[in-house]
């Protein structure tokens, strides 16, 4: 085994051990608070619901530990078994060396890896989610969703990969800038088209019916000068009892989308506060900031890929011959996660900061934090959220502050 393979093995093991350590820390923290409802959460959950939420968190954590070990084992097997060079050789002998053949290899590799995780995904849905009363989907719908996702992956991923490989052939040393530009253009196009063409493939969207809720939400949009094409209700209840709200699309194609489960769970002022929070993200320009951060991240990724694609040692360490971008692209995709994992706390810190800002905006628009706090408490209770995660665990995995952190921030702003 060469030094590069040893280094990659160390990185894979370091990530897996860190993830297992975080799961253990979180489990211990949950168990330390599980017997008695902490006083800070009086009014959020009763003791029975709190105990159920702890069991839900522990069950999810056990599955996550299995996933960590399984993913690390699969990645190690793929990288060190020699299957990747064999696959490339077979593809070149069978389909040729053209970009269309190499793109097919990359899509096939992604497909095989995604299929390997289906058993654990299935157990999560029909084991844990079913046991705790969240699952409402059927076997037929679950498998149909996977087939649709597979079809979309082929229809969208294959042409994009082919284009990147052709740009490598056409544009010389600066290919990575052109490839980054193509990816950025594709992402912006999908931001416009996905709500119109892709979202309806999975969910039915219907206009929010006339009535007091619609008038209340339209009034909020008017007060905040938030222009949206429509307010839509999504039939999320056909898959899960979890709830959400979001707006999607760009410009005049923007839509406000409410899960039907959310409408069932919250009172009208609370729904208005949730929507005010989402509008807060728009008003604080969090969406373009997130897009810009993602664009810079992908730019750095393409630059690093361009450097690796010129290194003979990188290819030969994994059994490939230099000069073909496809192996470098495949290896980069497989290994990037073992590095970016350690950068997630910084990215998530920024996202949690955005959540605080959106909360403050919603409280200001609503004339106080009461409705928002009521909504957050109900959502945490209905979703059996972990109210006592370990701080290090939430730093690595939580894009939103905990309920207690959000309430304390609102209390400071309004001196509650």
DSSP characters for 203-271? --EEEPPSSHHHHHHHHHHHHTT---SEEEEE-GGGTBS---EEEESSGGG-EEEEEHHHHHHS-HHHH
> Using an 8 Å Cβ cutoff, are 322 and 312 in contact?
yes
**Under a CB-based contact definition with an 8 Å cutoff, are residues 350 and 22 in contact?**
no
d(CA 299, CA 294): 8
Mean pLDDT value across the chain: 92
Classify 135 as helix, strand or coil.
strand
CA distances from 359 to 221, 271, 353, 365 (A): 16, 13, 10, 10
- Give the distance, in angstroms, between the CA of residue 52 and the centroid of all CA atoms in the same chain: 25
Answer whether residue 195 shows pLDDT above 50: yes
β-pair type (230-234, 255-259) = parallel
Per the residue annotation, which of 129, 272, 355, 359 is the catalytic one? 359
Q: For residue range 129-157, list pLDDT tens digits in order.
A: 999 999 999 999 999 999 999 999 999 99
Q: What is the mean pLDDT of residues 220-235?
A: 86
Most confident of 23-37, 60-74, 252-266: 60-74
Select the more confidently predicted residue: 250 or 219: 219
**406, 374 in Cβ contact below 8 A?**
no
Residue 47: closest CA among 31, 56, 35: 35
Of 323, 307, 305, the residue nearest 315 (C-alpha): 323
- What is d(CA 393, CA 400) in angstroms, rounded to the nearest whole number? 12
* Catalytic residue flag (residue 413): no
pLDDT at 308 over 70: yes
Whether residue 1 is predicted with pLDDT greater than 80 in this model: the reply is: no
Please identify which of the residues 272, 278, 355, 407 carries the catalytic annotation: 278
* Cβ count within 10 A of residue 393: 20
**What are phi and psi for residue 232, nearest 5 degrees?**
-115, 150
8 A C-beta contact, residue 128 and residue 70: no
What would the pLDDT profile of 261-294 be if each residue is shown by its tens digit? Answer: 999 999 999 999 999 999 999 899 998 899 899 9
Percent of the chain with pLDDT strictly greater than 70: 98
In angstroms, what CA-CA distances link 212 with 6, 215, 271?
A: 63, 5, 12
pLDDT value, residue 314: 93
- Using CA atoms, how far apart are residues 208 and 272, in angstroms rounded to an integer? 13
Greatest C-alpha distance within the chain: 71
Is 145 catalytic? The answer is: no
User: What is the Cα–Cα distance from 60 to 14, expressed in whole angstroms?
Assistant: 22
Average pLDDT over residues 305-314: 94
Rounded Cα distance between 79 and 90, Å, is 17
What confidence score (pLDDT) does residue 416 get? 47
Average pLDDT over residues 192-200: 87
298: pLDDT confidence band, cut at 50, 70 and 90?
very high
pLDDT(29) > 80:
yes
Closest Cα to residue 175, out of 289, 309, 60?
Answer: 309
Q: In angstroms, rounded to a whole number, what is the distance separating the alpha carbons of residues 106 and 305?
A: 15
How confident is the model over 312-351, as pLDDT tens digits?
A: 999 999 999 998 999 999 999 999 999 999 999 999 999 9
Query: Using CA atoms, how far apart are residues 320 and 331, in angstroms rounded to an integer?
Result: 11
How far from 8 is each of 258, 327, 381, CA to CA, in Å? 43, 16, 42
CB 369 within 8 A of CB 277: no
pLDDT at residue 252 is higher than 70 = no
Band (pLDDT 50/70/90 cuts) for residue 386 is very high
| CB-count burial class (<10 Å; 0-12, 13-18, 19+) for 224 | middle
pLDDT of 247 strictly over 80: no
Query: Any idea what DSSP says for residue 399?
Result: S
What is the per-residue DSSP string for 328-394?
HHHHHHHHTHHHHGGGHHHHHHHHHHHHHHHHHHHHHHHTSSHHHHHHHHHHHHHTT--SS--HHHH
Residue 307's H or E segment, with its range, is helix 286-308
Query: Quick one: pLDDT at residue 176?
Result: 97
35: three-class secondary structure by DSSP: coil
Q: In sequence order, which residues have a C-beta less than 8 Å from that of residue 411 and are 6 or more positions away?
A: 369
């Amino acid at each position: 085994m060469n030094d590069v393979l040893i280094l990659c093995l160390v990185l894979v093991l370091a990530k897996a051990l860190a993830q297992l350590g975080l799961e253990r820390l979180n489990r211990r923290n949950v168990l330390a608070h599980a017997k008695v409802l902490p006083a800070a959460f009086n009014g959020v959950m009763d003791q029975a619901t709190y105990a159920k939420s702890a069991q839900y968190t522990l069950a999810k954590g056990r599955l996550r530990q299995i996933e960590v070990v399984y993913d690390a084992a699969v990645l190690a097997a793929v990288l060190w078994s020699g299957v990747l060079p064999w696959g490339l050789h077979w593809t070149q002998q069978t389909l040729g060396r053209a970009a269309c053949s190499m793109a097919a290899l990359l899509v096939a590799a992604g497909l095989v890896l995604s299929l390997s995780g289906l058993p654990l995904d299935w157990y999560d849905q029909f084991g844990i989610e079913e046991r705790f009363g969240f699952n409402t989907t059927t076997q037929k719908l679950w498998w149909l969703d996977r087939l649709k996702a597979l079809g979309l992956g082929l229809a969208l991923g294959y042409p994009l990969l082919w284009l990147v490989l052709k740009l490598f052939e056409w544009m010389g040393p600066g290919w990575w800038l052109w490839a980054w530009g193509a990816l950025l253009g594709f992402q912006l196009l999908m931001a416009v088209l996905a709500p119109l063409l892709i979202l309806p493939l999975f969910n039915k969207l219907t206009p929010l019916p006339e009535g007091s809720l619609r008038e209340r939400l339209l009034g909020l949009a008017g007060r905040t000068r938030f222009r949206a094409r429509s307010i839509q209700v999504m039939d999320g209840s056909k898959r899960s009892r979890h709830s959400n709200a979001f707006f999607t699309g760009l410009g005049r194609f923007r839509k406000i989308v409410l899960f039907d489960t959310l409408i069932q769970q919250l009172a009208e002022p609370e729904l208005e506060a949730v929507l005010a929070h989402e509008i807060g993200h728009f008003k604080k320009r969090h969406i373009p900031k997130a897009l810009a951060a993602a664009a810079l991240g992908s730019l750095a990724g393409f630059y690093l890929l361009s450097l690796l694609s010129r290194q003979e040692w990188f290819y030969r360490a994994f059994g490939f011959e230099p000069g073909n971008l496809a192996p470098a692209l495949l290896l980069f995709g497989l290994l990037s996660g073992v590095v970016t994992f350690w950068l997630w706390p910084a990215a998530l810190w920024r996202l949690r900061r955005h959540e605080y800002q959106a909360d403050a905006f919603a409280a200001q628009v609503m004339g106080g934090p009461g409705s928002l706090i009521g909504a957050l408490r109900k959502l945490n209770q209905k979703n059996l959220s972990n109210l006592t995660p370990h701080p290090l665990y939430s730093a690595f995995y939580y894009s939103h502050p905990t309920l207690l952190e959000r309430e304390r921030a609102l209390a400071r702003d309004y001196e509650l």
